[in-house]
Amino acid sequence: QVQLVESGGGSAQAGGSLKLSCAASGITTSTVSMGWFRQAPGKEREGVAVIDFDGRATYADSVKGRFTISKDNAKNTLYLQMNSLKPEDTAMYYCAADGAPRATIAAMDYYGMDYLGKGTLVTVSS
């Protein structure tokens, strides 16, 4: 059974930083693609960042240059470092994993991913 458990959400001031973590079990992070979605109140869920099995990362335009996705295969854990936070980054952030070894932001948004965590809330105040 696959489980994805997020942590690290909370409140931050605009311009600040937060780091999200996602502990994975039932899958091996070195063989699958993983990513982060977010959903703000009243808005559709959107793909934020994705990392392939070999570590190649891609980002949504809205977070490029500010967010960094990474993983520690030894710990089977996914991360999202969020810098220069903006109020519009306020959302529930969800960790996701897919059986395919590679993924794109567009595919995340259109097809979703196989597995999704329960989410962690990020609130950014101005």
Can you list the residues of the chain whose pLDDT is less than 70?
A: none
Helices (H), the chain: 105-111
Q: What was the pLDDT predicted at 1?
A: 93
Q: Judging by DSSP bridges, how do beta strands 115-116 and 91-98 pair with one another? A: antiparallel
Residue 25: predicted pLDDT: 97
Q: How many CB atoms lie within 10 A of CB 122?
A: 22
Q: Which one-letter DSSP state was computed for residue 101?
A: S
At residue 12, the pLDDT reads 98
CB 5 within 8 Å of CB 119: no
Question: How does DSSP classify residue 2?
Answer: -
Give CA–CA dist 118/22, Å, rounded.
10
Q: What is the pLDDT of residue 30?
A: 95
pLDDT at position 64 is: 98
Q: What is the pLDDT of residue 81?
A: 98
Q: How would you label 70-100 residue by residue, b for 16+ Cβ within 10 Å and e otherwise?
A: ebeeeebbbbbebeebeeebbbbbbbbbbee
